[in-house]
Amino acid sequence: MLRREYANLRIAGRKRRLIEQLSIHFGHPVSLCRAGARGRDSVFVVKDECQTMGAVRLCNPHLRVSALSADMPFIILSNDERLSREWRCFAEAGPAGITPRPLWRDEDALMCEFIAGPRLSDRLSQDPSSFWELLIRTSRALGRLHALDITHMDASLANTIDAGDGCRLIDFEYGPRADITLEQQMAYDHLRLLESSLKFMPRRARLRIDSWLEVLDAVLPKRTREVDIEPLAPAITRVLACHGLNHRLAAIFPSIDQRT
């Protein structure tokens, strides 16, 4: 925590320049209010005297992420690759209400529309019994994203905002490993969603997985259901170790039962 605070202090000069850039972009003065930090980024809400103008992600060179094992199905992108990927995803999916819309970017910053609403992870904290309902909402949003041939690669309730009129997917900061097919990426998004949520699942909720499986059955094309899960295994260890669940998941992804 202290390391992150220090890293944020070290970008004070860049923050001032960013305020100048955005004030020019909007044609009037704006301010930046810290909204948190995600990975290698500092995140701000952009405001003027009357309203919230957007949310901006600023790459922070003083923040580091741990190296990934080479067998993970996703990779760490450079700052430019990451912002370019997020901009592209927002530009294609934003108009359909799947993600925020992109508004402005620089070589180390990206601003998108501000989505007022809590993350679904906060909804789960408030009401653990809503576990499968929240996963269903996110998987439906992922299904709409996949229809555009876009994948997330870090799907979670924490990366999904409840916008009132639907969900918005955010934080497209990882990319797929080069040998992971589009269909495997799509399967991974749903399995990663479950993987990242399992530790928060109420014990009795395991018996109610059918409602989520019905949604997967509806949103996943046949070619995605037939993928080899093995290359995804290092990133979904909780799911694969939970025998009661993975046996049920094999109805959607048969290769789960074929693992030795």
Structure confidence by residue, pLDDT tens digits, 92-124:
999 999 999 999 999 999 999 999 999 999 999
State pTM to two decimals.
0.93
pLDDT at 2: 65
For 144-161, how does the pLDDT look when each residue is reduced to its tens digit (9 = 90+)? 999 999 999 999 999 999
For 189-229, how does the pLDDT look when each residue is reduced to its tens digit (9 = 90+)? 999 999 999 999 998 877 789 999 999 999 999 999 999 99
Specify whether 133 is located in the same domain as 233. yes
Residue length of the chain: 260
What average pLDDT is seen over the chain?
A: 93
Residue 95: inside a domain? no
Contact (CB, 8 A) for 44 and 36: no
More confident residue, 215 or 4: 215
Residue 206 burial class via C-beta count within 10 angstroms: exposed 0-12, middle 13-18, buried 19 and up: middle
Q: Is the pLDDT of residue 242 over 90?
A: no
Residue 229: inside a domain? yes
Q: Is the pLDDT of residue 162 over 60?
A: yes
Q: 3-state secondary structure string, the chain? A: CHHHHHHHHCCHHHHHHHHHHHHHHHCCCCEEEEEEEECCEEEEEEECCCCEEEEEEEECCCCCCCCCCCCCCEEECCHHHHHHHHHHHHHHHHHHCCCCCEEEEECCEEEECCCCCCEHHHHHHHCHHHHHHHHHHHHHHHHHHHCCCCCCCCCCHHHEEECCCCEEECCCCEEECCCCCHHHHHHHHHHHHHHHHHHHCCHHHHHHCHHHHHHHHHHCCHHHHCCCCHHHHHHCHHHHHCHHHHHHHCCCCHHHCCCC
Calpha distance 192→190 (Å, rounded) = 5
Specify whether 60 is located in the same domain as 125. no
pLDDT at 46: 98
For 32-43, how does the pLDDT look when each residue is reduced to its tens digit (9 = 90+)? 998 865 667 889
Q: Is the pLDDT of residue 130 over 90?
A: yes
What is the domain range of residue 11?
1-64
Specify whether 162 is located in the same domain as 45. no
Q: Is the pLDDT of residue 256 over 80?
A: yes
Closest of 95, 8, 57, 77 to residue 171, by C-alpha: 57
Calpha distance 57→41 (Å, rounded) = 6
Residue 104: inside a domain? no
Q: Hey, what amino acid is at 206?
A: R
Contact (CB, 8 A) for 70 and 44: no
Specify whether 127 is located in the same domain as 199. yes
Give residues with Cβ within 8 angstroms of 133, minimum separation 6. Answer: 211
**Last-in-domain residue among 64, 86, 104:** 64
Please count the structural domains in the chain. Answer: 2
Specify whether 52 is located in the same domain as 128. no
Specify whether 11 is located in the same domain as 126. no
pLDDT at 60: 85
pLDDT at 5: 67
